[in-house]
Copies of this chain bind each other. A is one copy, B any other.
Amino acid sequence: MATTPRVTVWNEFRHERTDEKIRSIYPEGMHAVIARALREAGMTVRTATLDEPEHGLTEQVLAETEVLTWWGHQAHREVEDRIVDRVQERVLDGMGLVVLHSGHFSKIFRRLMGTSCSLTWREIGEKERVWVVAPSHPVAAGLGEYFEIPHTEMYGEPFDVPAPDTLVFVNWYQGGEIFRGGCAYERGRGKIFYFSPGHETLPIYYQPEVQQVIVNAVRWASPLGWPAVPIPSPKIKGGNRRIPLEPVPSQ
């Protein structure tokens, strides 16, 4: 029973290579910062990016991944459908998925939600408070009643997602909006967590509370965690199964 999930941190990794300001904040890419936080929590981490072959998400890589984190923004459409199919299958089979910030509009998140996943936004660097509304949820572990992000991009309602199985965080923004910024879902045998903070032009992924939430989310989403949830076989995705009658004996 492994207690250290193997994590693959996926990043579009375009902004950081083309925009000088963004590079100055995340010189090795946002994935490097996220991966470091997960490694410091004792996890086994690799990274994968859009421009690698198969976007770095080969069958082999996914087979060795308990939890995948996802950050994308400007190139959602460039993610190949066959890779989206592959990730969706793995999630339904039990792999955890942690979707970050603008990943709300990724193909994989929209596919798993079934809705448009649209929202409203504003980028003026206003203040944000992330409030905990499910204090006993594992993703809120170690946090206080709320934490602040001093300068953020606003994400606002209406957020067109299914009502989460557990709503963990609600964000407050200085300009007048709220947002369901921490949403836990179960789909098939996999767990999915959407977490809204984090933006390419702001050093949000360096903030300790944000890293704590990502670590918590990966632990919660892991199928190998405490207690172990075995990845099932045969696969649930393969269609309906015909069940023969097992005669119920008389009493």
Contacts and interface: CB of A to CB of B under 8 A. Distances in A.
A114 to B, nearest CB: 4
Nearest to A238: B118
B135 A232 contact: yes
Interface residues of A, number: 88
B158 A127 contact: no
Given A167-B163, A238-B118, A135 B189 contact: yes
Interface in A25-58: none
Interface string A231-251: 010001111111111101101
Interface of A: 3, 88, 92, 94, 105, 111-116, 118-122, 124-127, 129, 131-138, 140-142, 145-146, 151, 154, 156-160, 162-163, 165-167, 170-178, 180, 185-191, 216, 219-220, 223, 225-230, 232, 236-246, 248-249, 251
Give the copy number: 4
A155 to B, nearest CB: 9
B238 A227 contact: no
Contacts of A92: 115-116, 160
Given A118-B238, A120-B243, A125-B251, A172 B177 contact: yes
Contacts of A156: 243
A190 B160 CA distance: 11
A98 to B, nearest CB: 14
